[in-house]
Amino acid sequence: WVQGLGKNPIWKRASHLRLRGYLDGDGAVYRGLGRGGQPQELSAKASERIKAFERAERLVEAGRAGRGKKPDLSLAEALAKRGWPSAADSIDMAVEYCSVDFEYGETPETISVKHNVHGEYNWRDFGEEEYFVDDPRGFV
């Protein structure tokens, strides 16, 4: 995965190597790659749960928790306050894993809103665009 494409030196290297992949990084994980390497469609329930998570996530990102003198919260607490309870079924677990565990390398219970959600330097420095690398030569 290459996060932040703009001036990111990793993106420059990946472009130079002509790595195969997809600009829709998160979608490739949610949908999975089907025949011919094309993304598969989501089920209606999965689409609904992704939208619910993203709605709660936007509210957390726009919120005051962890800003200035406001107390910090774990991402799990902040999401719960914004309408996303702890994942209870396999679809919610997959959505939460792809959106949180995979992105941050930790579970929502251990992620600081102040330091991790509000402090993401890649977005500010390189932009929010992502590139999902799916190159048969391998690349990590």
Helical H runs in the chain?
A: 9-16, 25-31, 44-62, 75-81, 90-96, 102-104, 121-126
Beta carbons of 32 and 25 less than 8 angstroms apart: no
**Placement of tokens 């079924």 in the chain:** 89
3 φ, ψ (degrees, to nearest 5): -105, 130
Identify the pLDDT of residue 29.
Answer: 47
Nearest residue to 50 via CA among 74, 31, 63? 31
pLDDT tens profile 80-129 = 999 998 888 888 998 999 888 887 888 999 998 888 887 655 566 777 77
Distance, in Å, from the CA atom of 114 to the CA atom of 61, rounded to the nearest integer, reads 10
